[in-house]
């Protein structure tokens, strides 16, 4: 099942490819300097029989050639079928694009990360025909960022750290540092990362902490940001209505960021909704919907 937390764990690499540099440093791999990063289609389905889809696929091209593909999978638990799926993904991508391919698995708990490191072997009778060795990011190798200056220098890494360590005892400190760093960021970064964490932390206590940090407006006084505006409107019109307006705006901004066209009538329907539970459902669907109509379809 695709969840909002699952989507943000790999989508951040599509939206903020600069995250690859510190991530490759963590993994002990060289990343070519000044390489361009392109987002490729994640569809690995052949003709018709079996649908297979990689979470994210990036093509990394150094200026002097010698590029490679990076398949990124967000994994929330052990899955006995993943070994064969991942083997297929790497073989398919190598054949389709003619480039070497690596697999990066992003995990938010230690047990899953240990399992995902593999290796995953395929063969018969004691003979190994193929062996897959994924690269893994998880709580053991993603740094805990609790220094404001460090968070300010690399917002993408700080946000990724906050999502990865959402269940860590230091989660409140990590989130507070990130919130303070966002207080001096540009409006686009503020909007992106505030919503990324809102979705990516899932149904955890850390998500409530993040919501409180964003709602209070302490870090953004006088800047006229959406966070501050929503807070002030909530004060004037009632806390419940203010939260609903903020969620409605978030739904529309997620759709806009994903390039999904929203007709004026649909935007008005979202903005006029005052039911918090309905808006939460629409926000979750906005992360994965292929068309705006799927926003209102329970089975989407």
* 241/157: higher pLDDT: 157
pLDDT the model gives residue 134: 94
Taking a C-beta distance cutoff of 8 angstroms, is the pair 167, 109 a contact?
yes
Calculate mean pLDDT across residues 126-135: 89
Whole-model pTM: value is: 0.63
Q: What pLDDT is stored for residue 47 in this prediction? A: 38
- pLDDT of residue 1 exceeding 80, the answer is no
Query: In degrees rounded to 5, what are phi and psi of residue 124?
Result: -155, 145
Q: Give the end-to-end CA distance of the chain in Å, rounded to a whole number.
A: 12
Please give the pLDDT value at position 64: 81
Helix axes of 239-257 and 226-237: crossing angle, nearest 10 degrees: 150
Judged against a pLDDT cut of 90, whether residue 233 lies above it is answered with no
Please report how many Cα atoms fall inside a 13 Å half-sphere around the Cα of residue 286, on the Cβ side.
28
5 or 21, higher pLDDT: 21
What length does the chain have?
300
Q: What is the mean pLDDT of residues 140-152?
A: 91
Stretch 131-135: mean pLDDT: 93
Nearest-angstrom CA–CA distance, 49 and 46: 7
Residue 139 is predicted with a pLDDT of 92
For 259, the 3-state DSSP assignment is coil
CA distances (Å), origin 2, targets 6, 56, 243: 6, 13, 26
* Distance from C-alpha of 190 to C-alpha of 156, rounded to nearest angstrom: 11
CA dist 33 and 60 (Å) reads 11
- Cα torsion through 198, 199, 200, 206, rounded to 10: 40
Q: What pLDDT score was predicted for residue 135?
A: 93
Span 53-65, average pLDDT = 85
Beta strand 101-107 with 36-40 is: unpaired
Mean pLDDT of 235-259: 73
Place of tokens 């289609």: 41
Token readout for 202 is: 């899932």
Tell me the C-alpha distance between 280 and 199, whole Å.
10
Greater confidence (3 vs 93) lies with: 93
pLDDT in tens, 264-281: 888 889 888 888 888 888
Residue 116: pLDDT band with limits 50, 70, 90: very high
Nearest CA among 227, 272, 112 for reference residue 264? 272
Cα 218 from chain centre: 26
Q: Where are the domains of the chain?
A: 4-137, 148-296
55-84 average pLDDT score: 88
Q: Sorting pLDDT into bands at 50, 70 and 90, what band is 197? A: confident
Indicate the SS3 state at residue 275.
Answer: coil
**Residue showing tokens 């698995």:** 105
Q: Which two tokens stand for residue 223?
A: 């800047």
Over residues 174-188, the mean pLDDT reads 86
Give 231's pLDDT tier (boundaries 50, 70, 90). very low
Report the pLDDT averaged over residues 213-241: 51
């Amino acid at each position: 099942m695709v969840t909002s937390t699952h989507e943000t764990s790999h989508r951040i690499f599509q939206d903020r490819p600069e995250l690859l540099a510190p991530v490759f440093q963590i993994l002990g791999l060289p990343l070519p300097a000044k390489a361009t990063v392109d987002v490729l289609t994640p569809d690995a389905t052949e003709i018709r029989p079996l649908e297979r889809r990689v979470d994210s696929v990036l093509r990394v091209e150094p200026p002097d050639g010698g590029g490679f593909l990076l398949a990124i999978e967000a994994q929330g638990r052990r899955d006995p079928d993943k070994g064969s799926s991942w083997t297929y993904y790497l073989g398919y991508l190598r054949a389709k694009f003619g480039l070497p391919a690596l697999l990066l698995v992003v995990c938010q708990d230690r047990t899953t990360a240990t399992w995902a490191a593999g290796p995953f072997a395929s063969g018969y009778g004691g003979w190994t025909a193929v062996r897959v060795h994924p690269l893994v990011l998880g709580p053991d190798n993603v740094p805990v960022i609790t220094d404001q200056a460090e968070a300010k220098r690399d917002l993408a890494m700080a946000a990724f750290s906050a999502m990865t360590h959402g269940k860590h005892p230091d989660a409140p400190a990590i989130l507070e540092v990130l919130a303070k760093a966002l207080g001096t960021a540009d409006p686009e970064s503020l909007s992106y990362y505030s919503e990324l964490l809102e979705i990516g932390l899932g149904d955890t206590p850390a998500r409530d902490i993040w919501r409180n940090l964003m709602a209070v407006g302490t870090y953004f006084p006088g800047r006229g940001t959406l966070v501050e505006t929503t807070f002030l409107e909530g004060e004037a019109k009632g806390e419940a209505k203010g939260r609903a307006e903020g969620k409605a705006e978030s739904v529309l901004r997620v759709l806009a960021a994903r390039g999904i066209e929203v007709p004026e009538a649909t935007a008005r329907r979202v903005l006029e909704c005052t039911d918090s539970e309905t808006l939460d459902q629409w926000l979750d669907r906005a992360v994965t919907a292929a068309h705006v109509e799927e926003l209102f379809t329970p089975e989407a």
